[in-house]
Amino acid sequence: MRRFDGRVVLLTAAGHGIGRACALRFAGEGARVAVSDLRAEAAEETAALCREAGATAWAGGADAGVPEEVNQLVSDATAALGPIDVLHNNAGVLIPGSALEQRIEDWDRTFAVNVRSVFVGARAVLPGMLERGAGVIVSTASSAGVIGDAGVAAYAASKGAVISFTRQLTAEYAGRGIRANCVCPGWIPTGFNDPIFGADPSLDEDQLVAATVPAGRQGSADEVAGAVAFLASDDASYVFGHALVIDGGLTVC
C-alpha cells in the first residue's frame, strides 16, 4: 500500500523505538518524511533508514516542548518537503512514582514533555492545516492513560491529558477538516519502560506481562506503527477524537 503518496509526515521523537518504526512505516507507504528528535543525530539515523527504503526524508533536531524550536522545525521541514499533512506527536518520558512518592519536579517534567509537546506541536501545524482545510494529528498516549497504572502517577495522568486534548482538538477543528486521534500502547519493548524495573528490581518483566496481558506477550513498535498509519490514512477518514488501544488486552482485565 502507498496510502501517503504525495503527503508530508512530520514525526517528533522519531530517533528510536515507536517513533522510528512509524517513520519507516510512513516512508514505506510513500510519504515524504520529516524526522525530528531531541537528539539530532538520532533523527538523521532514522532519516537515513527511510532514504535506504527509497523514501524522501529530512531530519532536524528539536525539543518537542519548546514552541520556538518546534515552530522553526515546522518551517524548516516545510521548506524542505512541503506543507505538513500529518503530524505524529510522539515525545514522552516515564518517571516512576506513586501520588505520594512522585516529586513535584518530576511531575512538572512529565507534563512538560508528555502534554506540553502535544499542545506545542498541534499549535505549530494547525495554521497551515486550517488554511488548506485538511490535516491529521496523531499523538502517542498510553494504556496507562485509559485505566491508570499503579506506581506511575504523573505518567498516567499525563497520558490521560493527551487523550483529553485529542478530543478537544476534535471538538474545535473537526468541522474544519482536521482529524485528531491518539494511540494508547501497552507493553512495548523499546526500553521506554526500563525506569519502572530500575525503580523496583523485584519486578520481573516477563512475569508481569504474563500476569497482566491476556495475549501473553508484549507488542512491537511495528504493531503500533501500523495503528498510527491507519489513523493517519484515508482509511480512517471518519475516525475523530479516538483513543486506539494497542495493548494485547491489558485494559480489559
Q: What is the pLDDT of residues 209-245, one digit of tens each?
A: 989 999 999 999 999 999 999 999 999 999 999 999 9
pLDDT at 192 exceeding the cut of 90: no
DSSP string, 79-126: HHH-S--EEEE-------B-TTT--HHHHHHHHHHHTHHHHHHHHHHH
Average pLDDT over residues 41-58: 98
| Residue 130 is assigned to a structural domain of this protein | yes
Residue for cell digits 494547525?
126
| Residue 226 is assigned to a structural domain of this protein | yes
pLDDT at 151 exceeding the cut of 90: yes
134 phi/psi in degrees, rounded to 5:
-160, 145
What pLDDT was estimated at residue 173? 98
| Residue 145 is assigned to a structural domain of this protein | yes
- pTM, rounded to two decimals: 0.95
115 phi/psi in degrees, rounded to 5:
-110, -50
| Residue 3 is assigned to a structural domain of this protein | no
Please state which of the ranges 28-32, 196-200, 218-222 shows the lowest mean pLDDT.
196-200
Q: Enumerate residues 6+ apart whose C-beta is below 8 A from 57.
A: 23, 27, 32, 33, 34, 35, 46, 47, 48, 50, 51
- The single-letter DSSP state of residue 234 is G
pLDDT at 204 exceeding the cut of 90: no
Average pLDDT, the chain: 96
The CB density around residue 233, as the number of other CB atoms within 10 Å, is: 18
Please give the tally of structural domains in the chain. Answer: 1
Catalytic residue, from 58, 155, 187, 192: name it: 155
| Residue 54 is assigned to a structural domain of this protein | yes
CATH for 146: 3.40.50.720
Instruction: Cell numbers for 220, please give them.
Output: 512491537
Q: Computed from CA positions of residues 169, 170, 174, 180, in that sequence, does the dihedral angle turn out positive or negative?
A: positive
| Residue 152 is assigned to a structural domain of this protein | yes
Nearest CA to 122 out of 148, 170, 89, 92 is that of: 89
Rg, Å, the chain Cα set:
17
Q: What is the pLDDT of residues 56-109, one digit of tens each?
A: 999 999 999 999 999 999 999 999 999 999 999 999 999 999 999 999 999 999
What pLDDT was estimated at residue 197? 74
pLDDT at 195 exceeding the cut of 90: no
| Residue 1 is assigned to a structural domain of this protein | no
Indicate the helix (H) or strand (E) that contains 170. helix 153-173
| Residue 2 is assigned to a structural domain of this protein | no
Active site residue 173: no
Range of the domain at 116: 8-252
